[in-house]
Amino acid sequence: MKNNFRVILLLFVSMSLQAQKPYKLEMSYEDSPLPPGPNYSLNEHWSALPMMKDMADSLPIGSNLVDMQASAVADVFYIYPTIFTSKPNNEYQWNTDVNDSRMNASVDNSAVLNQSSAFNGTCKVYSPRYRQAHYSAFTTSDKASAAKALALSYEDVRTAFEYYIEHYNQGRPIVIAGHSQGTIHAAHLVKDYFDGKPLQEQLVEAYLIGMPIKHDAFQNIEASNSADHVGGFVSWNTFKKGYIPKYYNNGLHEAICTNPLTWKTDEVYAGKELNAGGVGLKFKFEEELSDAQVNNGLLWINKPFVKGRMFINIKIWHKADINLFWMNIRENVALRIAEFNKNKERNGK
């Protein structure tokens, strides 16, 4: 009976993910009131801080892992993806209010739980709340409004990062991580604060996931092509094997694609036995959840290896870019931090 219920639930989730149509904004950016800006001296304007109890401290159900933030020697600055997809429930249309408790709960119980937690084994987790742009910023024909909404979001992320550097970092190694809209802002951070700048010496790695990043996105920071390379970036966008999205030529055709099971950019197939585990429904740990193969800028997977997989018909696995490879990311962060510290010792720093 339980297995039957699980199959039905997987089928429902698969169908609902495919059918979801985010709300389309009609109001121009100029006609939408601006929500008040965040104050990063207040804990409530962070979705995760290492000294605060939050969803980034979570560990998957069924795992034997431990939150190691208290003793972590490195930091992760994590920027969550777009959660603002529905019809706005207040006067703010293009950007969210960081004081919106319902939106904050949605952010914390989805992205922060499922994504930032992958880093709590070796990093102190810092994740700012920011006035994220509505999903319409990626679909509207009103490009001017979209650009302004995203620029406001990045203004917050940049302000939060500067506050983090001044008040929290204390010269520690830094991991930058983002997903989707978060990756857009994370890539800007890398370019503005690390690429050829003094902070580049503190960069362990940038995990720029869920958005196409070109090989020449940065002048002094290159795409990593091994599990232990440090100071570079990795990136991937996940789809069903054989599927090419309609928007492929909008950037994916030129994108760096890292296989998170091998941490290489070649097109060698990696079977599920290389998957150390992902997180599924209700944040449950699933061993050998997915295989992976790079194909012309896309990361292709077969159906995840769970009960009821025959009923899964998802083509775009964007929401699960991190979930599918959660444990591999966790282990890779640990490896890169260890290698980063070895390099510092070798160089006498």
CA distance 138 to 211: 12
**8-state DSSP, 221:** -
pLDDT digits (tens, 9 = 90+) for 213-262: 999 999 999 999 999 999 999 999 999 999 999 999 999 999 999 999 99
Comparing 60 with 313, the larger pLDDT belongs to 60
- The stretch 316-336 carries a mean pLDDT of 98
pLDDT over 90 (residue 13): no
pLDDT digits (tens, 9 = 90+) for 159-191: 999 999 999 999 999 999 999 999 999 999 999
The pLDDT of residue 220 is: 98
pLDDT digits (tens, 9 = 90+) for 61-108: 999 999 999 999 999 999 999 999 988 888 899 999 999 999 999 999
The pLDDT of residue 10 is: 34
The amino acid sitting at 106 is S
| Percent helix, percent strand, percent coil in the chain, to nearest 5 | 40, 15, 45
pLDDT band at 19 (very low <50, low <70, confident <90, very high): very low
pLDDT digits (tens, 9 = 90+) for 112-128: 999 999 999 999 999 99
Comparing 19-33, 205-219, 298-312, the range with the smallest average pLDDT is 19-33
- The residue count of the chain comes to 349
Secondary element (H or E) of residue 2: helix 2-19
pLDDT band at 349 (very low <50, low <70, confident <90, very high): low
- The stretch 321-344 carries a mean pLDDT of 97
